[in-house]
Amino acid sequence: MGTIRTIRTIISGLSLVLLPFTARAEWTVNLSPGVTEVSRSVYDLHMTIFWICVAIGCVVFGVMFWSIFHHRKSKGAKAHHFHEHTLVEIAWTLVPLGILVAMAVPATATLVKMYDPSEADLDIQITGYQWKWRYTYLDKDLDFFSNLATPREQIGNEEAKGDNYLLEVDRHLVLPTDTKIRLLLTANDVIHSWWVPALAVKKDAIPGFINEAWTRIDEPGIYRGQCAELCGQDHGFMPIVVEAVPPEQFQQWLAQVKAEKQAEAAAAEKSWTLDELMTQGEQVYLRACAACHQPTGTGVPPAFPALKGSPVALGDVGAHIDIVLNGRPGTAMQAFRDQLSATELAAVITYERNAWGNSTGEAVAPSQITRILEGNAETAGEGAQ
Amino acid sequence: MSTLDTAVPGLHEEHHGPAKGLGRWLFTTNHKDIGTLYLWFSLLMFLTGGVMALLIRSELFQPGLQLVEPGFFNQLTTMHGLIMVFGAVMPAFVGLANWMVPLMIGAPDMALPRMNNWSFWILPFAFAILISTLFMDGGAPNFGWTFYAPLSTTYAPPSVTYFIFSIHIMGASSIMGAINIIATILNMRAPGMTMMKLPLFVWTWLITAFLLIAVMPVLAGVVTMMLMDIHFGTSFFNAAGGGDPVLFQHVFWFFGHPEVYIMILPAFGIVSQIIPTFSRKKLFGYASMVYATASIAVLSFLVWAHHMFTVGLPLAGELFFMFATMLIAVPTGVKVFNWVATMYRGSLTFETPMLFAVAFVVLFTIGGFSGLMLAIAPVDFQYHDTYFVVAHFHYVLVPGAIFSIMAGVYYWLPKWTGHMLDERMGKLHFWLSFIGVNITFFPMHFLGLAGMPRRIPDYALQFADFNMIASIGAFIFGFSQLLFVWNVIQNIRSREAATARVWEGAQGLEWEVPSPAPYHTHTTPPKVE
């Protein structure tokens, strides 16, 4: 590691001279050992193979540079005439083969460990959406979306960037430590890939199929990751944040989330003024809609139509609600019925009908959305696709 | 010169020179003209793809979005990849093959000269179509050069159909080029030029051509399946209709992995010509070089799923593809050892082609090491789709394939133009490229290990420093390629005449004909003893 540290010192020294304003960022040049047994053995394997490569490189480049310095014509070197040597050639075929076998043994062991099929204590379904993650705690009646929380002003360089720029979300995936957790991965639209380096888990989330991975986190903490498979425009803007807490605290968190959910359902039944809906609607819009339809409502036609002055936002409320709730199949417009609460849905639809000069003056009541959602839930069983 | 001219057999039979004007280039069936066309075309594409790379690196110079929208960023990475792979590297190798294979085997021309013209002239149309998609409604393809379904089918911009059409044309061009090269090598060798006397560049191209014929139809198949899914209601890659998005990746990489070797085997050939010349010593282990190339080609069909370790393969699948991939290190190692053994106890000089060839061996080997690391499935879970992969494949493609092409151009340019290179400018180009390429791509290893995914237009703050360094390197590398263009043009205009042999240690039939090589060469087959 000495050499790496030296190189690091040299490079950071250079950057201090050349690029003073970047000096505050940390210099990470290697994998992190992570916080699971698997991630540590992956790290060890990575280092073993790295050092084997370094050793081979030293020998090969050593001989080469020896020739470059000593067998120059300018130094009077005369060319020898050998051009084959069966024994040497067999040796440098068999020796690398032996080294490869030596590498394959620990690699196979680690891989087998990763494919451990034993039962897990907690099952989480992870669904990739363009461009957010949905976490479903199976058998726990808990299901939520996790969106990028970095403000657009930071991305657009209008505000100073925060410490966890692009690696922060509105809702963490909270997981208990010391518990075997099975992750079931799938996607709603295109292929995504769920990756948290500290857990050494990277698995593709493929629409129509379910992939499986597992982890057992040793240390409480916050672990950040990103989508690792190109999934469209905002592929770089769908981070993952895992918050590992001790098992007791996890139970408390579950109870707390359930209480909040009930409070929210109650809030949907109270009556909301247009102003209240507009204020909340703007926040929801910027979080859930602005990536495509743009903060100004002008969209990016033809893929993402404008809402400003659009027939949908100015026309029949029922049709507008239907599109937001159920999406438009075959386009990028998703179904938001499961992504947002009734209050949020009502607020954002109200906002779309009254912002950017769309002055319909109409407010959609959260209770109205609740009833539509309940009505659909009853008929959903019969109208299976 | 005049003494040389008369010394060349067959020169007196030359009954016509090239036609005049544009018609010469449009209707030519001459392998040298077509080689030249391929090389200029590839240079144009290299500069086009390079401009895109510089736009990408400018956006990534600092965190935050500055220059381009994320959607356009994806179009840039996609077009950069497609143009560099299909427009720059592959046509450059075909151009070198057109020029050099007939000269090296003692043939008067390619076996199928009219098809040769056709296989070049459809290429500009393919790329005109591809590049025109940038100006279409909804933009150019934005799904990466690997175009994974369903991002490239259900969720693709309308221009995807033009993309499919242009891929079909490129495929047809490559297949025709490959057939021509095989037919030439197998049928048109001079008497006495047995297979095991073929120069290594010819051998590697023969094997590459078989790879092309085997896998370009697979690429055509996969884009046709996309076309059917998009326009004709099939569901090859759509799970909702009973298909499977992962099927796309299997078919694509069954093409894609041999494609990787299509872009590196001719490079091995070029380097195997250059290192012996400037070591003044025969290539070490000729036979083992041929067998190693053939084994790499065979193995290339058995390793495709190492690009897909994270799609959820069963354990047995992961193990098979991991072991098969690791095995490729053996023949590749043999090649590197042979090059080093060729230099060992030689009488070395370091003219520009040799500098590029030596840099190739060192930097390609570094790319090989990261490739070996990527082959190890459990750690690949950490590297996959990060900048570590970007570093890896740029090390094998830029200081790998591209450096070998530049080495080849500097090596054979005096034979083509009849003029010697300005060594001082050649060396300046080399050193700027060498430094630039390493400043660009070496820090990407660190970025990937630190956790930066590839194909993102903006990144977290801990990646800022290395990204800035990589961008600076990219500008050094990018702008130093203008020196390459300048060197080539200066060489054409230069007056410093080259000898037939050009380089002191050069061996082979291409050095027996005068410089510049006459329009028709080897009209009477030379004798090879």
d(CA A214, CA A293) in angstroms, rounded, equals: 37
Q: What percent of chain A has pLDDT over 70?
A: 90
Smallest Cβ–Cβ distance between B373 and the set A53, A78, A206 belongs to: A53
CATH code given to domain A270-378: 1.10.760.10
A65 touches chain B (CB under 8 A): no
Residue B517 has φ and ψ, to the nearest 5°, of -60, 130
CATH topology of domain A122-156+166-262: Immunoglobulin-like (2.60.40)
| A14 confidence band (pLDDT: 50, 70, 90) | low
Which residues from chain A sit within 8 angstroms of residue B336, using beta carbons? 60
Domain borders along chain B are 33-260, 264-520
| A304 confidence band (pLDDT: 50, 70, 90) | confident
Mean pLDDT for all residues in chain B: 95
What pLDDT, on a 0 to 100 scale, did the predictor assign at position B448?
97
Which residues from chain A sit within 8 angstroms of residue B468, using beta carbons? 19, 22
What pLDDT, on a 0 to 100 scale, did the predictor assign at position A7?
58
Tell me if residue B429 is catalytic: no
Enter the pTM of the model. Answer: 0.89
What pLDDT, on a 0 to 100 scale, did the predictor assign at position B16?
66
Mean pLDDT within B491-507: 93
Helices (H), B328-351: 329-343
* Among B153, B174, B365, B386, the one annotated catalytic: B174
pLDDT in tens, B4-54: 444 444 444 445 678 888 999 999 999 999 999 999 999 999 999 999 999
B378·A77 Cβ contact <8 A: no
Q: What percent of chain B has pLDDT over 70?
A: 97
Instruction: Among A269-278, B145-154, B451-460, name the one with the lowest average pLDDT.
Output: A269-278
Which residues from chain A sit within 8 angstroms of residue B376, using beta carbons? 45-46, 49, 103, 107
B70 touches chain A (CB under 8 A): yes
For testing the chain A interface, which of B59, B315, B461 should be mutated: the one with the most A CBs within 10 Å?
B461
| A22 confidence band (pLDDT: 50, 70, 90) | very low
**CA distance to partner chain A, nearest, from residue B461 (Å):** 7
What pLDDT, on a 0 to 100 scale, did the predictor assign at position A12?
53
d(CA A62, CA A51) in angstroms, rounded, equals: 16
Mean pLDDT for all residues in chain A: 88
Q: Which residue has the higher pLDDT, A303 or A81?
A: A81
For testing the chain B interface, which of A11, A50, A92 should be mutated: the one with the most B CBs within 10 Å?
A92
CATH topology of domain A32-114: Helix Hairpins (1.10.287)
Which residues from chain A sit within 8 angstroms of residue B337, using beta carbons? 60, 92
Which residues from chain A sit within 8 angstroms of residue B240, using beta carbons? 207-208
Mean pLDDT within A270-275: 84
Residue B275 has pLDDT above 90, yes or no: yes
CATH topology of domain B33-260: Cytochrome C Oxidase; Chain A (1.20.210)
Please choose, from the candidates B260, B189, B58, B396, the residue with its C-alpha nearest in 3D space to the C-alpha of residue B50. Answer: B58
Nearest CA in chain A to B240: A208
Query: In what helix (H) or strand (E) does residue A222 lie, and over which residues does it extend?
Result: strand A221-227
| A6 confidence band (pLDDT: 50, 70, 90) | low
Instruction: Among A372-376, B199-203, B506-510, name the one with the lowest average pLDDT.
Output: A372-376
Which residues from chain A sit within 8 angstroms of residue B310, using beta carbons? 193, 202-204, 228
Tell me if residue B520 is catalytic: no
CA angle A51, B470, B249 (to 5 degrees): 70
Question: Residues A313, A316, A319, A322: is their CA dihedral positive or negative?
Answer: positive
Smallest Cβ–Cβ distance between A202 and the set B282, B310, B373 belongs to: B310
Read off the tokens for B437. 């390429």
Domain borders along chain A are 1-30, 32-114, 122-156+166-262, 270-378
Tell me if residue B31 is catalytic: no
Which residues from chain B sit within 8 angstroms of residue A232, using beta carbons? 74, 142, 151, 155
What pLDDT, on a 0 to 100 scale, did the predictor assign at position A10?
58
Question: Residues B40, B390, B127, B223: is their CA dihedral positive or negative?
Answer: positive
A67·B365 Cβ contact <8 A: no
Domains B33-260 and B264-520 share a fold: yes
Q: Which residue has the higher pLDDT, B415 or A327?
A: B415
| A376 confidence band (pLDDT: 50, 70, 90) | low
Residue for token pair 């009556």? A271
What pLDDT, on a 0 to 100 scale, did the predictor assign at position A273?
86
Read off the tokens for B198. 């073929």
Tell me if residue B495 is catalytic: no
A191·B453 Cβ contact <8 A: no
Which of A361-365, B136-140, B210-214, B495-499 reaches the highest mean pLDDT?
Answer: B210-214
Instruction: Among A118-132, A189-203, A329-343, B441-455, name the one with the lowest average pLDDT.
Output: A329-343
A28·B322 Cβ contact <8 A: no
B311 touches chain A (CB under 8 A): yes
Contact of A306 with A296, CB cutoff 8 Å: no
d(CA B302, CA B473) in angstroms, rounded, equals: 36
d(CA A324, CA A329) in angstroms, rounded, equals: 12
pLDDT in tens, B124-172: 999 999 999 999 999 999 999 999 999 999 999 999 999 999 999 999 9
Residue B65 has pLDDT above 80, yes or no: yes
Residue A23 has pLDDT above 50, yes or no: no
Mean pLDDT within A233-249: 96
What pLDDT, on a 0 to 100 scale, did the predictor assign at position A381?
42
CA angle A302, A304, A310 (to 5 degrees): 90
B238·A163 Cβ contact <8 A: no
Please choose, from the candidates A164, A181, A182, the residue with its C-alpha nearest in 3D space to the C-alpha of residue A223. Answer: A164
Starting from the edge strand earliest in sequence, which strands make up the sheet with A201-205, in order? A173-176, A239-245, A221-227, A192-196, A201-205
Q: What is the ipTM of this complex?
A: 0.92
The listed CATH number (1.10.3720.10, 1.10.579.10, 2.40.50.100, 1.20.210.10) that belongs to domain B264-520: 1.20.210.10
Smallest Cβ–Cβ distance between A63 and the set B285, B344, B385 belongs to: B344
